[in-house]
Amino acid sequence: MKIEITFDNEHITDVINSILLPDNVNFPKGFFLNIEISEKTQRKTLIIDMKSDEKIETLINTTDEILNHISLAKNVIDNNA
């Protein structure tokens, strides 16, 4: 599963990427997660690539957790701008 998110501001993309990096470790066996920034377009895009060879529930739960982290971070950034 691949999720691509492009924010209005490149700084937001960088900040959210740095927030997600510490969570990018210690996964269950058969689970793969890679988070990177693509600069192929005019704006930076956060690319989240996940794969689970085991349980689909793990993939769903991790996706939900990552999207919640992104939403919370975006709200904090917006409220402090």
pLDDT classification of 23: cutoffs 50, 70, 90: low
Residue numbers of the domain that contains 7: 2-80
Cβ atoms of 81 and 49 closer than 8 Å: no
DSSP secondary structure, 50-70, as one string: EEESS-HHHHHHHHHHHHHHH
> Number of folded domains in the chain?
1
Q: What backbone torsions phi and psi does residue 35 show, to the nearest 5 degrees?
A: -120, 130
Q: What is the CATH classification number for the domain harbouring 26?
A: 3.30.310.50
Helix (H) or strand (E) run with residue 42 in it: none
Q: pLDDT tens for residues 47-77?
A: 999 998 878 888 898 899 899 999 999 999 8
